[in-house]
Structure 1
Amino acid sequence: MELGYFAMPSHPPERSLKAGHDWDLQTLRWLDELGYAEAWIGEHHTAPWEPHPAPDLLIAQALLQTKRLRIGPGGFLLPYHHPAELANRVAMLDHLSEGRLMFGIAASGLPSDWAMFHVDGTSGTNRQMTREALDIILRLWSDEPAFDFQGQFWKVTKPETMYGFLKPHIKPLQKPHPPIGVAGLSKNSDTLKMAGEHGFLPLSLNLNPAYVATHWAAVEEGARRSGRTPSRRDWRMVREVFVAPTDEEAWRLSVGGMMGRMMREYFLPLLGNFGFLDYLKHNPSVPDSDVTPEYCARHNWLIGSPATVAEKLERVYNDVGGFGGLLVFGFDYSEQPEAWHTSLRLLKEEVAPRIRHLTP
């Protein structure tokens, strides 16, 4: 099982944009030094707790400060980007990465972002735009000759050579393109069906394992549409993780630290407004009011000593039928940096050897 990182990125609203950015860079340097495999960086525009609108700015800097870590947006919100411009920008970033770039895509799920960009997410227009934009990007990266695309949302032309020397020429370094990842949240996720259909990397966000188990069925359903055979080795699982020398210390630093605060002030209220709290419950009869950081720590989070976290991780692995990558959900511990670094180190050095036998 490979270890990676999934950052919204999340920062408390009082943190300056520069200070939050610097914390993310420090974390990415640590991940590289500790031997983590990959990191995904989110994009959001109207959430003070998720304050990074341009993941490629962070990625470009991080690529200069790391040596082995694969890094990618997790993901670019395709409805908010012209697909031809984004195709060229991602291709250029792939060259700068020397092949370490991943390309995460998403449809956007925040109503406030929909409002800013005048995208109708309620009716699913955001998902339709995402599919159309991705189709255009992949065509521009392919060897397909000149074409004229008249879509529902964008009009894009791949022109013929002009004056003998002007022509489309920017393509990714990795062939045919960087690995593409898509994240899924809801039960029987449509985006994960798309991942299975196209052979993309499926990322399951941090929900109760009972719901996450349906995600692989969605991947398989999508794969059947195109005659593919998906591999569980490609499946990434995003989880809240905090490892400390003892269970008591892990509880204090997670529930009593920034993990607990962010969940209490932002993430749980956000999921509640979307009607998604059921996805965190180990039993549907649990009242919404009982879904607190303490409840999540007991039922969903991987927190504790290395032995405890290894045991919990193996239980999740068996509950969902196996997966190939664990992505640590990122939090801003810039006021307790050593605690977060220790957690990342213990996960890599003491938990990972205990779960080496978990091979999908």
Structure 2
Amino acid sequence: MHSRIGLFLSPVHETGQDPHLAIHRNLELVDLADRLNFDEAWFGEHHTLGWGLVGAPETLIAAASQRTRQIKLAHGVVPLSGHHPFHVASRAVHLHHLARGRYILGVGPGVPFDGGMFGLNPPEQRKRLDEALPVVLELVNGEQRITRKTDWFELADAKLQLPRYGHGPLEVALATSGTSVSSPRLIGRYGLSMTSFALPFALLTPGAPEHIGLAQQWKHAEEAAAEHGNTMHRENWRIALPVHVAETREQAYREVRDGYDRWLFEYFGKAAGRTVLAPGASRDRMLEDRVEAGGALVGSVDDVVDGIRRLQEATGGFGTLLVYAADWTTYENTNRSLELLARHVAPRINGFDRRPQEAVERAISARAEQAGGRTAG
């Protein structure tokens, strides 16, 4: 069974805790997600701002591949502007083998904060993505040797020695966020999977219609796909946003409110230097504003089921919800939230709860029919 729910580990961890334990916490979460039948786990790559401690996600993916049974493991994402494309492709194929086909290569241009440390501005990061992406795709899924020279990498008659695992192609996904047009168009041009980050939309504007930006991303990708003879598949569209479930709505908000405030104001505000409070907005209502805008799902099982259904309807449909693990609460509360998602949210979204209920209703109906027959006799 496919839960259509995945885990996205940026991963961010509040400062002031043991980094060693924080790193191992990520593997523990993936172990749990695997047992709970989550479909996927994605690992981000960050090198600045203190909260994002994982600078070598391929090491965690390799470790997780040996500890898990069925969950797919993905880069979320490899910043192509900071890696030689041959090394990206080589690592991807090796991870595909280690995971026995359960690996997904996620790519993107890279975040501006990290780019600045390497002397790269956002336009240069985007340029490098455009140059590296077709090379990586050919090295990973093609058969041709590549000769290519740019101002930052060179290949001469290059081809990987190790074939990819299995006969099918290795899945490649491109990340997109905000109001970006270039990334969705690259996705359509090359027929890639799309991973959309819903985080930025609701940071500043309370009540902002989150789904409009997401739906527009899909439209751009479809248009570019049609221009290049490709077809987009909604089941290969992932949307990542924070999710927390508890037994009641009040409990869910109580569990994450303080952690959300620190994540928003300490991480995005102080560390990243972003303006996170819109003029006239109330700090006390920032969490509610985000949820109402569609930038997070927080509440009871019913609340989260309704939120996912609204997002599916507003976007026209997507394949997998990636639960952005934002480290807003205790490990115990996070584990319980993931369990509620797996046991009670996923089956209602996917319809896997229907047959058992149909069996109950059929048993009741059959008894009523038998009782009616005896009465008539």
Instruction: Indicate whether the TM-score tops 0.5.
Output: yes
RMSD: 2.4
Instruction: In structure 1, give the amino acid aligned to 2:335.
Output: H
| Greater radius of gyration (CA) | 2
Paired with 1:19 and 1:187, the residues of 2 have a C-alpha distance of 36
Paired with 2:249 and 2:137, the residues of 1 have a C-alpha distance of 47
Is the CA contact 1:223–1:230 (under 8 Å) kept in the aligned structure 2? Answer: yes
Instruction: Say if 1:158 and 1:17 are closer, same or farther in 2 by CA, change over 3 A.
Output: farther
**Corresponding position of 1:170:** 162
Instruction: Say if 1:62 and 1:288 are closer, same or farther in 2 by CA, change over 3 A.
Output: farther
Is residue 356 from structure 1 mapped to residue 350 from structure 2 by the alignment? yes
**Corresponding position of 1:113:** 114
Q: Give the Å deviation of 1:151.
A: 2.5
What SS is found at the alignment partner of 1:240?
strand
Paired with 2:271 and 2:168, the residues of 1 have a C-alpha distance of 38
Deviation readout 1:130-162 (Å, 9 max, x if unpaired):
122222222333554544222343111135xxx
1:1-360 to 2 correspondences below 5 Å: 2-110=4-112, 112-121=113-122, 124-142=123-141, 144-158=143-157, 168-175=160-167, 177-206=169-198, 207=201, 208-256=210-258, 258-267=259-268, 273=274, 287=279, 289-290=281-282, 292-300=286-294, 301-332=296-327, 336-356=330-350
Report the TM-score, using the length of structure 2 for normalisation. Answer: 0.82
Instruction: In structure 2, give the amino acid aligned to 1:316.
Output: L
Is the CA contact 1:9–1:330 (under 8 Å) kept in the aligned structure 2? Answer: yes
Instruction: Say if 1:238 and 1:142 are closer, same or farther in 2 by CA, change over 3 A.
Output: closer
Q: Give the Å deviation of 1:59.
A: 0.6
Instruction: In structure 1, give the amino acid aligned to 2:134.
Output: D
Report the TM-score, using the length of structure 1 for normalisation. Answer: 0.86
Greater Cα shift, 307-316 or 168-177: 168-177
Q: Which runs of 5+ in 1 are unaligned?
A: 160-166, 279-285
What SS is found at the alignment partner of 2:49?
coil
What SS is found at the alignment partner of 2:14?
coil
Instruction: In structure 2, give the amino acid aligned to 1:139.
Output: E
Paired with 2:268 and 2:152, the residues of 1 have a C-alpha distance of 31
Greater Cα shift, 17-26 or 286-295: 286-295
Is the CA contact 1:247–1:308 (under 8 Å) kept in the aligned structure 2? Answer: yes
User: What's the % identity of the aligned pairs?
Assistant: 29
Is the CA contact 2:138–2:144 (under 8 Å) kept in the aligned structure 1? Answer: no
Instruction: Say if 1:40 and 1:150 are closer, same or farther in 2 by CA, change over 3 A.
Output: same
**Corresponding position of 1:283:** none
Instruction: In structure 2, give the amino acid aligned to 1:181.
Output: A
Q: Which runs of 5+ in 2 are unaligned?
A: 202-209, 353-377
